[in-house]
Amino acid sequence: MARSPLQPPDAYRAAIRTIEAERERELRQTFGYGRPFFVSLFAVLNIALFAGMEIAGSSTDAETLIRFGAKENGRILQGEGWRLITAMFLHVGLIHLLVNTVALLFVGGAVERIFGRWRFFAVYVAAGVAGTAASFAFTPALSAGASGAIFGLMGALLYFGTRRRRLFVRTMGRDLLFYLLLNLLLGLVLPSVDHYGHLGGLLGGFLAAGAVGLPGERRLSARLGFALAWGMLVVGALRLGGL
């Protein structure tokens, strides 16, 4: 009787090797699209501005924060809309800077590898603007920090999860959801945390990720819809805040 070239368990081993090779190829393609560049650039910028504030006065001093571009509702109402961007690069105290820089390097590194350099840049800035706008709408407190943009990066990973569900669950899904939930809960119980900025950044990042899309993702009408929704979120928050 002739024997087939592959009999169990050889056939099973070959099948397993094929599956593992396919998974490895999928991981390389997904998480190797871009190499972190803006993540490092933004981290250096955050540190440089923090050092500048410490030299000019103190990063915990309100006047110094306002001078460097923190979110201050009265100034925004007077036309200083650029604070919606500059506030995301300033930090109040060394612990605030360290926590956000570590989060940026870890979460941002994953996002920039998945989305690529320029999509990451767009998502980060768009999420930061949305976070600052939400803070402007719901709290008069002076605020600054990359937290809104970082929550936006988590929103981008959630968007990735809606498009590549099995890979998301297999690689990062549970850890990301736990980390996100933990930080949202901390934002609700700690009085110094701007949870409105966090929520605005999270939603803004999700919408911005949908607008730029994953590499190779066309879906032009859906992306335009996400971009429109992001615009409505920011404009609505600014109008709610009095602009």
136 by DSSP, 3-state: which? helix
pLDDT computed for residue 87 by the predictor:
97
As a whole number, the mean pLDDT across the chain is 88
pLDDT, tens digit, 9 for 90 and up, residues 65-81:
999 999 999 999 999 99
In eight-state DSSP terms, residue 87 is G
3-state secondary structure of 71: strand
pLDDT of amino acid 3: 53
Kindly indicate the confidence band of residue 222, based on its pLDDT and cuts at 50, 70 and 90.
very high
Q: Quick: pLDDT tens for 106-124.
A: 999 999 999 999 999 999 9
148-193 pLDDT, tens digit each: 999 999 999 999 999 988 888 888 888 888 888 888 787 777 667 8
Q: Taking residues 53-70, report their average pLDDT.
A: 96
The pLDDT of residue 193: 80
Position 189 scores a pLDDT of 73
What is the pLDDT, as a whole number, of residue 1? 47
pLDDT of 123: 98
Confidence category of residue 16, pLDDT binned at 50, 70, 90: very low
- Tell me which DSSP letter residue 92 carries: S
Structure tokens at 223: 């992306």
pLDDT for the residue 110: 92
Active site residues: 147, 198
* Cβ atoms < 10 Å from Cβ of 17: 10
Closest by CA to 38, choosing from 125, 100, 159, is: 125
Local confidence band at 137 (pLDDT 50, 70, 90 cut-offs): very high
Amino acid at 9: P
129, 174 contact by CB (below 8 A): no
pLDDT at residue 27 is higher than 60: no
Given a contact cutoff of 8 angstroms between Cβ atoms, the answer to whether 154 and 180 are in contact is yes
The residue to which tokens 């929550």 are assigned: 151
DSSP string of 149-210, one letter each residue: HHHHHHHHHHHHHHHSHHHHHHHTHHHHHHHHHHHHHHHHH-TTS-HHHHHHHHHHHHHHHH
Count, in order, helices (H) and strands (E) of the chain. Answer: 13, 0
Tokens of 213: 């899309």
Contact 130, 230 (CB under 8 A): yes
**Hey, how many other C-beta atoms are within 10 angstroms of the C-beta on 54?**
15
What's the pTM? 0.86
